[in-house]
């Protein structure tokens, strides 16, 4: 047990160093982008605005010409105080509030779809690997791989057009209906679920194949191992062999992949959000980049960084549980 | 267990299906799309720099003194009823409308107007129109009159002064920091001022019952759902869940109008200005006016418009002014060279005379021997312009010029333009109520910056002393004959020097669905522009739209 604790602590210190490096990069990279926010916002008006307005904008945004080290210092100080600055694209809202508005929806839609796709995909992978001469194994992998290979943008548009617009089964956009008011009431919660079905389905539909295939392949090679043959010879019930002996080992690579994907959930599903007008991080990030909104960009990258690192740390702990070798 | 699951799923289906009616639209409210947003931020502050407040803030909640109607090309009296210049244009007097009330019932007066201007003097960050560069003082001389005194004579300042959105003194004077104010509950003089509901996905703006125009507006409320893409907008227009939009829709006749010709309408109005092929006049080759004219002659604008712009627009006039701006055309224009017509022979002659010979690979070469080639930079994703640029490269190939299209992200593109780090580009020019802004941005040497320094206007870096004098003269006169005369002279200089190459007329995208609301402006009834993107003249539409 002690060894496990040391392992966890070692991993944690590694992640802290990685986090610091990421924060520094997060500060540098947006500043390497060409252009400055005031000029870009001005130019977006395509000549309908006085050029002299730019100075007023620069003043308003509080853009400074301080030396880069001083800017870096105040950036670090701000992060520890939870103050991410003021957004430019949504001036004068604080960045933390803007991110807050998209974060929950992203976690809800992309997170839920990921968990569903991972669970279904992995379970399917286990079963078709176990019955690897069955009809499902000949039919499912190529079909799902085919759909997974289609451009997501196109597929989502087709779903939107067919099920949302033509058949009118599902709403064509947004996270909830125009008539409900957000809060803990049934009308709102149902509306949220109803609106999430179509975007979530497209996300699950394209990603399920990947989880299934990787699980199936590892599972098949695990099933060829000597200890499985031995377990069979000993007469252990086949369900037990499938789940406790084979799947438990075969799931490790998938679990690592899940950790990575979980972290990236926070970067938002940009295309889903665009097509279904669904609120979330992806569209915010796009707008931040387009309007050179450094504070917002940094805030979003920071949440993504922490999410990726945090998720990986959790996966490390989970692997500790699944794989006894890491405990030695 | 299995039964339980199937019962549950059937139940869920029933509930979802019963929810379907909930997405049905509210027929009392006009549903509008103008802003590309995925979740709404509650901000109704009209003074602070651009693109942060919600769309109706400037025009529907807060109103200016005069509103320019780009169709009728005149100034409609709004919160002011009249104006006059005094003391050789060093003083401007506005008569302020009486009987106007703020939406909270308090009376509106000239003191609010004076306060608005003086606030931006106190906080230069709010002076987005740069008024205090030429203003000395703004004083309310009575409840219905304000006096604007100029530091230096600057008549075009009228446009920006008359267009300033007036805010209530009794709200703003209580603020600690007007720079960080987001004005969540606006109090304005406009036709729509009451926030009925506001959440991240949809918000509603109700009618102002104190509005000063009797009987108006006709519509109870405006509804703003979020829309994140043109596809969403198009589907919403088609399904009747959107009444009024300012979106670009490709092949609109087939995609939109044909589905319901009775209710589905659009009006892509010619704004009178042009989209340009901008040429960097600091480039050693492009600095030659004959090369620029040759390039212009070589462009088949009909083809550009057909392939690049879905045939929505028309080839540009040689002055770049067309449509509503054509009233400024100089009477002598017919005698001037028209280099916006397609004429390969003339293009070739000009290039031959400029000393660019053909090599054996059907390309022209510079006197040094290197091929005559240019990059045309365009913003990536602006597909109509990218296609137009591709047509232009094919056109130029026919006269031996090798042109390549390069696309950049908007930020990178604008940085290159501003620093003069380009050869040719598709872009726009400045615009205003008179062609003054346009000609100033094209040829005023005060805007010219050396290559590498950021120029906010005149990216092609062309300046002419004669123009500077004319601009100066224009800024000091309010005499209409003289103004016309100066604009004519500027046109002649533009035609002689070809500082930029006009390609086609700029349009203003606008669609409406008249299933639930009528009274939108269109080509048959052009009382104002249709596009909600035209701020603040969209107000004419908002005041005239009625429930069917």
Q: For A180, which of B22, B126, B200 is closest by C-beta distance? A: B22
pLDDT in tens, A189-218: 999 999 999 999 999 998 899 999 999 999
Q: Is B181 on the interface with A (CB under 8 A)?
A: yes
Cα of B456 to nearest chain A Cα, Å:
6
Q: What is the pLDDT of residues B416-469, one digit of tens each?
A: 999 999 999 999 998 888 999 999 999 999 999 999 888 888 999 999 999 999
- Asked if A201 reaches chain B (Cβ–Cβ under 8 Å), the answer is no
Give residue for tokens 């915010």. A284
- Please give the pLDDT value at position B19: 46
**Kind of pairing between the strands at B192-198 and B202-207:** antiparallel
Distance (Å) of CA B437 to CA B73, B129, B475, B487 = 15, 14, 11, 11
Question: CB atoms < 10 A from the CB of B480, how many?
Answer: 8
Show residues of chain A in contact with B20, CB under 8 Å. Answer: 168
Contact A226, A140 (CB under 8 A): no
Test A91 with B48 for CB contact under 8 angstroms.
yes
List the strands of the sheet with B373-379, edge to edge: B402-408, B373-379, B424-427, B269-279, B500-508
Supply the DSSP symbol for B246: -
CB < 8 Å from A in window 41-60 of B:
41, 43, 48-52
Cα–Cα distance for residue pair B480/B392, rounded to 1 Å: 39
Residue B4 has pLDDT above 60, yes or no: no
Using DSSP's 3-state secondary structure scheme, residue B476 falls into helix
Tens of pLDDT, residues B76-103: 999 999 999 999 999 999 999 999 999 9
Per-residue pLDDT band at A1 (split at 50, 70, 90): low
- φ, ψ for residue B164 (rounded to 5)? -70, 135
Tokens of A261: 């994907």
pLDDT at A314 over 70: yes
Q: What local confidence, expressed as pLDDT, does residue B22 receive? A: 41
If phi over 0 gives left and psi between -120 and 50 gives alpha, with beta otherwise, what is residue A186? alpha
Q: CB–CB of A277 and B228 under 8 A?
A: yes
Per-residue DSSP letter, B97: P
Kindly determine whether residue B232 and residue A176, on different chains, have CB atoms separated by under 8 Å: no
Q: What is the DSSP letter of B106?
A: P
pLDDT of residue A63: 64
Position A256 scores a pLDDT of 87
> Closest Cα to residue B242, out of B269, B202, B302?
B202
Write down the mean pLDDT value for chain B. Answer: 91
The Cβ of residue B509 has, within 10 Å, a number of other Cβ atoms equal to: 20
Closest Cβ–Cβ partner in A41, A90, A165 for B235? A165
Nearest chain B residue (CA) to A170: B20
Residues within 8 A of B (CB atoms), A 14-43 only? 33-35, 38-43
Q: Does B533 touch chain A (CB under 8 A)?
A: no
Question: In this predicted model, what pLDDT tens digit does every residue of A71-101 receive, in sequence order?
Answer: 888 888 888 888 887 887 787 788 888 888 8
Q: Which two tokens stand for residue B501?
A: 């190459």
B184-221 pLDDT, tens per residue? Answer: 999 999 999 999 999 989 999 999 999 999 999 999 99
Report yes or no: B442 and B457 within 8 Å, Cβ to Cβ: no
Q: Is B16 on the interface with A (CB under 8 A)?
A: yes
Tokens of A249: 């080992």
Minimal Cβ distance to B428: which of A46, A175, A190: A46
Q: How far is A164 from chain B (nearest CA, A)?
A: 10
Considering only CB atoms, B202 lies closest to which of A39, A60, A178, namely: A178
Please tell me which residue of chain A has the smallest CA distance to B411: A35
Alpha-carbon torsion, ordered B455, B459, B460, B463, to 10 deg: -50
CA distance B434 to B201: 40
pLDDT band at B21 (very low <50, low <70, confident <90, very high): very low
Nearest to A84 by CA among A327, A299, A305: A299
Pick A48 or B305 by higher pLDDT.
Answer: B305
User: CB contact, 8 Å: A238 with chain B?
Assistant: no
* Nearest residue to B216 via CA among B60, B104, B321: B60
The phi, psi pair for B52, rounded to 5°, reads -115, -35
Alpha helices, H only, A62-185: 68-80, 95-106, 112-130, 135-149, 152-159
Residue of A306, A302, A303 whose CA lies nearest to A27: A302
Asked whether residue A54 carries a pLDDT value surpassing 80, the answer given is no
pLDDT value of position B228: 84
CA distance A183 to A232: 55
Q: Is the dihedral of CA A180, A181, A185, A190 positive or negative?
A: positive
Q: Does residue A119 have a pLDDT over 90? A: yes
> Shortest Cα distance from B334 to chain A (angstroms)?
29
In chain A, what percentage of residues exceed pLDDT 70? Answer: 90
Average pLDDT of span B100-123: 95
Residue B284 confidence class, pLDDT cut points 50, 70, 90: very high
* Lowest-pLDDT range of A264-268, A307-311, B463-467: A264-268
Give the pLDDT confidence score for residue A289 in this predicted structure.
80
B201 and A43 within 8 Å at the Cβ level: the answer is no
Under the banding of pLDDT at 50, 70 and 90, the label for residue B10 is low
Residue B128's pLDDT is what? 77
The helix or strand, by DSSP H or E, that contains position B16, with its residue range, turns out to be helix B2-19
* Residue contact A45–B201, C-beta within 8 A: no
Among the partner-chain residues A35, A51, A60, the one whose CB lies closest to the CB of B415 is A35
Interface test with A, best of B21, B39, B125, B156 (most A CBs within 10 A): B39
Average pLDDT value for residue range B114-120: 95
Q: Could you tell me if B80 and B161 are in contact, meaning their C-beta atoms sit under 8 angstroms apart?
A: no
Place of tokens 């990986």: A312
B326 touches chain A (CB under 8 A): no
The whole-number average pLDDT for the span B221-230 is 91
pLDDT over threshold 50, residue B35: yes
Q: How far is A85 from chain B (nearest CA, A)?
A: 13
Is the distance from CB of B231 to CB of A157 less than 8 angstroms?
yes
Angstrom distance (rounded) from CA A174 to CA B232: 10
Distance (Å, whole) CA B98 – CA B115? 17
Query: Residue A253, Cα to own-chain centre: how many angstroms?
Result: 18
| Interfacial B residues in 347-366 facing A (CB < 8 Å) | none
Higher per-residue confidence, A151 vs B136: B136
Dig out the tokens for B472 from the structure.
């100066």
CB B376, CB B280: distance < 8 Å: no
What phi and psi, each to the nearest 5 degrees, are found at residue A274? -65, -50
Question: Is the CA virtual torsion A279, A282, A284, A286 positive or negative?
Answer: negative
**CA–CA dist B242, B224 (Å, integer):** 9
Inter-chain CB proximity A45 and B202 less than 8 Å: no
Q: What is the largest CA-CA distance in chain B?
A: 92
Return the structure tokens found at B220. Answer: 């109870």
A101–chain B Cβ distance below 8 A for any pair: yes
| Four-point Cα dihedral B177, B179, B183, B188, nearest 10 | 100
Exposure b/e, B43-53, CB count within 10 A at least 16 = b: bbbbbbbbbbb
Pairwise CB contact (< 8 Å): B124 & A59: yes
Q: Is B502 in a helix, a strand, or coil?
A: strand
Q: Give the residue among B225, B210, B311, B191 at the shortest CA–CA distance from B39.
A: B225
B225 upstream amide cis, omega within 30 of 0 = no
Cβ-based contacts of A90 with chain B (< 8 Å): 41, 43, 52
In the numeric block, the tokens 């379970």 are attached to: A123
Helix (H, G, I), strand (E, B) or coil at A66: coil
Instruction: State how far the Cα of B294 lies from the Cα of B282, in Å rounded to an integer.
Output: 17
Residues of B in contact with A95 (CB under 8 A): none
Which string of DSSP letters, residue by residue, matches A160-228? IIIIIIIS--S-SSSSS-SS--SSS-HHHHHHHHHHHHHHHHHHHHHHHHHHHHHHHHHHHHHHTSHHH
The predicted structure's pLDDT at residue B110: 96
Query: Could you tell me the pTM of the whole model?
Result: 0.86
- For residues A75 and A25, give the distance between their C-alpha atoms in angstroms, rounded to a whole number: 12
Q: Are strands B373-379 and B424-427 parallel, antiparallel or unpaired?
A: parallel
Are the C-beta atoms of B340 and B316 separated by less than 8 Å? Answer: yes
Contacts of residue B79, Cβ cutoff 8 Å, sequence gap at least 6 = B63, B64, B65, B96, B97, B100, B108, B113, B166, B189
The closest alpha carbon to A265, from A85, A44, A106, A30, belongs to: A106
Res B14 pLDDT > 80: no
């Amino acid at each position: 047990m002690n060894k496990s604790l040391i392992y966890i602590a070692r991993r944690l210190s590694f992640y802290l160093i990685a986090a610091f490096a990421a924060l520094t990069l997060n500060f540098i990279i947006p500043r390497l982008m060409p252009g400055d926010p005031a000029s870009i916002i001005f130019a977006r008006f395509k000549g309908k605005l006085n050029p002299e307005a730019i100075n007023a904008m620069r003043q308003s945004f509080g853009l400074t010409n301080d030396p880069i080290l001083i800017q870096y210092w105040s950036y670090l100080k701000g992060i520890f105080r939870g103050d991410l600055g003021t957004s430019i694209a949504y001036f004068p809202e604080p960045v933390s509030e803007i991110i807050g508005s998209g974060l929950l929806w992203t976690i809800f839609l992309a997170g839920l779809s990921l968990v569903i796709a991972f669970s279904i995909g992995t379970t399917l992978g286990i079963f078709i690997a176990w019955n690897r001469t069955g009809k499902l194994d000949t039919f499912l992998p190529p079909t799902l791989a085919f759909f997974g290979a289609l451009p997501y943008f196109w597929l989502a548009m087709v779903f939107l057009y067919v099920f949302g617009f033509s058949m009118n089964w599902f709403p064509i956009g947004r996270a909830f209906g125009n008539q409900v008011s957000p809060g803990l009431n049934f009308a709102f919660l149902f509306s949220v679920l109803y609106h999430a079905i179509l975007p979530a389905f497209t996300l699950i539909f394209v990603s399920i194949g990947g989880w299934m295939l990787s699980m199936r392949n590892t599972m098949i090679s695990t099933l060829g191992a000597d200890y499985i043959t031995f377990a069979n010879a000993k007469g252990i019930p086949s369900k037990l062999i499938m789940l406790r002996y084979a799947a438990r080992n075969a799931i490790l690579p998938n679990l690592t992949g899940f950790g990575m994907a979980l972290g990236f959930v926070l970067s938002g599903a940009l295309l889903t959000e665009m097509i279904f007008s669904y609120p979330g991080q992806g569209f915010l990030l796009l707008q931040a980049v387009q309007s050179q909104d450094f504070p917002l960009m940094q805030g979003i990258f920071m949440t993504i960084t922490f999410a990726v690192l945090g998720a990986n740390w959790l996966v490390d702990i989970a692997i500790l549980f699944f794989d006894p070798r890491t405990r030695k | 267990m299995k039964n339980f699951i199937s019962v549950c799923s059937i139940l869920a289906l029933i509930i979802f299906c019963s929810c379907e009616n909930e997405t049905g639209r509210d027929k009392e409210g006009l549903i509008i799309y103008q802003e590309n947003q995925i979740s709404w931020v509650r901000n109704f502050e009209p003074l602070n720099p651009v693109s942060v407040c919600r769309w109706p803030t400037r025009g529907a909640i807060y109103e200016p003194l005069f509103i320019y109607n780009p169709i009728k090309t005149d100034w409609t009296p709004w919160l002011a009823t009249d104006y006059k210049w005094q003391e050789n244009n060093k003083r401007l007097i506005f008569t302020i409308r009486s009987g106007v009330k703020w939406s909270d019932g308090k009376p509106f007066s000239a003191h609010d107007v004076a306060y608005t201007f003086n606030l931006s003097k106190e906080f230069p960050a709010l002076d987005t129109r740069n008024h205090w560069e030429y203003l000395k003082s703004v004083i309310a001389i009575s409840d219905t009159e304000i006096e604007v005194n100029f530091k230096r004579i600057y008549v075009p300042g009228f446009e920006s002064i008359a267009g300033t959105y007036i805010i209530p003194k009794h709200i703003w004077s209580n603020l600690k920091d007007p720079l960080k104010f987001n004005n969540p509950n606006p109090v304005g003089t406009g036709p729509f001022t009451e926030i009925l509901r506001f959440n991240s996905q949809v918000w509603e703006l109700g009618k102002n019952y104190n509005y000063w125009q009797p009987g108006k507006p006709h519509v109870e409320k405006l509804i703003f759902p979020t829309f994140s893409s043109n596809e969403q907008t198009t589907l919403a227009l088609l399904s009747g869940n959107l009444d009024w939009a300012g979106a670009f829709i490709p092949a609109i006749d087939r995609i939109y109008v044909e589905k319901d010709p009775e209710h589905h309408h659009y009006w892509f109005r010619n704004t009178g200005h042009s989209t340009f092929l901008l040429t960097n006049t600091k480039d050693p080759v492009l600095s030659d006016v004959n090369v620029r004219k040759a390039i212009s002659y070589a462009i088949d604008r009909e083809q550009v418009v057909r392939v690049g712009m879905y045939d929505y627009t028309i080839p540009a006039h040689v002055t770049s002014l067309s449509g509503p701006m054509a009233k400024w055309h100089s009477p002598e224009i017919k005698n001037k060279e028209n280099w916006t017509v397609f004429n390969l022979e003339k293009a070739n002659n000009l290039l031959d005379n400029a000393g660019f010979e053909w090599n054996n690979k059907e390309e022209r070469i510079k006197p040094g021997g290197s091929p005559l080639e240019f990059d045309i930079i365009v913003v990536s994703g602006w597909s109509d312009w990218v296609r137009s640029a591709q047509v232009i490269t094919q056109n130029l190939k026919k006269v031996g010029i090798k042109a390549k299209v390069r696309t950049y992200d908007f930020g990178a593109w604008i940085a290159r333009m501003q620093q003069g780090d380009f050869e040719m580009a598709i872009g726009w020019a400045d615009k205003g109520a008179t062609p003054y802004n346009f000609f100033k941005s094209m040829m005023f040497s005060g805007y010219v910056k050396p290559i590498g320094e950021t120029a906010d206007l005149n990216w092609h870096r062309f300046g002419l002393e004669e123009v500077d004098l004319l601009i100066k003269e224009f800024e000091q006169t309010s005499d209409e004959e003289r103004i016309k005369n100066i604009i004519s002279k500027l046109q002649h200089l533009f035609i002689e020097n070809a500082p930029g190459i006009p390609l086609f007329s700029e349009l203003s995208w606008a669609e409406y669905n008249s299933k639930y609301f009528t009274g939108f402006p269109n080509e048959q009834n052009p009382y104002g522009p249709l596009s909600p993107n035209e701020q603040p003249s969209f107000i004419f539409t908002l005041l005239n739209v009625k429930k069917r």
